Amino acid sequence: MELELKQQGLLICVSGPSGVGKGTVIAAAKELCRNLVHSVSVTTRAPRLGEIEGVSYYFRSKTNFEQMLADGEILEHDCYCEHYYGTPLRPIEEKMRAGIDVIMDVTVPGSLTTIRNYPDAISIFLLPPSLTELRRRLVGRATESPEVVEKRMAKSTDEIAEAGKFKYILVNHEVRTTAQLILNIIEAEKHRTERQKGIEEIILNR
C-alpha cells in the first residue's frame, strides 16, 4: 500500500534567453507528465503563427494589462522588446493548492521576482549550446525582423549573466532530454525533507 502524504503542488520557473527553447521544452515535459500544467502568461505582443489564445498566451492590450497590474492580479511582469509579459496569480495558487505542479515560462527579471516572492520555487535556467546556435534558433523561427533578432541577441548576454541566481542550470542540447531532466529535478524536489513533513508519523502508525 502506498503512503498517502498530501503535498502542495510545486512552482517551477523556467527561464533563459529568447530562442533557447523554453516553450518547446515545457510542452515536451507536459507530454511526459500528466500532473504538470503550464501557467499561461499574459502578453501585449501580437500572436505568432500557431499560437492560441488561452493556451499559448492570453493576448491583451496594454491598457488591459496595466489594469490587471493595478488590481494585483499579476504575480510578476516584465517589459521585453517593447511588450509586456506577466503571470496571472490566481490560477497558479488554485492549482498548487490542489496538488498540481505549475511550470512557468518567464523572462529572467520575471523569474527573479517570482523567486523573491516564492523562495520555495524551483528555478531552472536554460542555456543554449552556444550563442551561434541561439542566433540560428531565433532566425529559424522566422517570426521577427532582423532588427528584433539583434535586440534579442544583445539582451541574451545580460540574461545569461544572471544564470547563477537560479537553483539549476541546464544546457538545452535536445528538447526531450532537457524536458526529462526537468522532470527528474521536480521528482527529486518532492522528496526533500521539508516536503516530507509527517511521513515519520505515517510510517510509525502503519
131-174: pLDDT as tens digits: 999 999 999 888 888 998 999 999 999 999 999 999 999 999 99
Question: 91: which 3 cell numbers?
Answer: 490560477
Say if 194 falls within a structural domain.
yes
Residue 76 lies in a domain: yes
Backbone φ and ψ of 19, nearest 5°: 95, -5
pLDDT tens per residue across span 112-129: 999 998 889 999 999 999
- Take residue 128 and report the three cell numbers written for it: 543554449
Residue 202 has pLDDT above 80, yes or no: no
Q: pLDDT by residue (tens digit) across 40-60?
A: 889 999 998 889 998 889 999
The CA-to-CA distance between both ends of the chain, in Å, stands at 10
Residue 3 inside a domain? The answer is no
Residue 20 among known ligand-binding residues: yes
pTM over 0.85: no
- pLDDT for the residue numbered 171: 98
Per-residue pLDDT band at 196 (split at 50, 70, 90): confident
23 annotated as belonging to a binding site for a ligand = yes
DSSP letter for each residue of 27-65: HHHHHH-TTEEEEPEEESSPPPTT--BTTTEEE--HHHH
- What distance in Å separates the CA atoms of residue 121 and residue 103, rounded to the nearest whole number? 10
Is 153 inside any structural domain? yes
CATH number where 27 lies: 3.40.50.300
**Does the annotation list 22 as a binding residue?**
yes
Is position 72 annotated in a ligand binding site?
A: no
Take residue 29 and report the three cell numbers written for it. Answer: 515535459
pLDDT in tens, 17-39: 989 999 999 999 999 998 999 99
- Domain with 141 in it: 9-202
Report whether 16 belongs to an annotated binding site: yes
Is 4 part of a structural domain of the chain?
Answer: no
164 among the known binding-site residues?
A: no
Q: 1 lies in a domain?
A: no
Q: How many domains does the chain have?
A: 1
Residues in contact with 181: Cβ distance below 8 Å, sequence separation at least 6, in sequence order: 170
167 appears as a binding residue in the annotation: no
Distances (CA, A) of 200 to 41, 77, 104: 39, 40, 32
Which residues, other chains included, contact 2 with Cβ-Cβ below 8 Å and sequence gap of 6+? none
In this prediction, residue 1 has a pLDDT band, given cuts at 50, 70 and 90, of very low
